[in-house]
Amino acid sequence: MGVATLLPIALIFAVAELAILGPSFFVPDMTHGAATGTNWRNIAGQMRAMQDHMPLLMGLSFVVSPLLYGLMFSASAFAYRALSGQGAVAARNQT
């Protein structure tokens, strides 16, 4: 899948996610040692911090997902239509 088509939408999504969650969410917490339970505590703390922002993140995902799917699958769909002889180009050639 083309980087030129998907990367701009993915970057817009990442910037919007950064704006919603804030930059402090993406900075790892390095204050704890490497004990066995601290990683799970950090993950649980991040999930609790993200819980308030989940409706905005889901709404953003619902808006961006059709754009990404359309860009991913449109090239192969148009190539199939062109190669199989279906579509507007084939209909104009037959008349």
In angstroms, the CA 29 to CA 8 distance is 29
Number of domains in the chain: 1
In angstroms, the CA 75 to CA 94 distance is 24
7-25 mean pLDDT: 89
Is there a contact between 9 and 71 (Cβ–Cβ < 8 Å)? yes
In angstroms, the CA 42 to CA 76 distance is 42
Neighbours of 61 (CB within 10 A): 13
Range of the domain at 89: 3-94
77-85 mean pLDDT: 84
> pLDDT value at position 23?
84
> pLDDT value at position 60?
92
Nearest to 6 by CA among 72, 58, 65, 63: 72
Write the pLDDT tens digit of every residue in 44-72. 888 888 898 999 999 999 999 998 888 88
pTM: 0.64
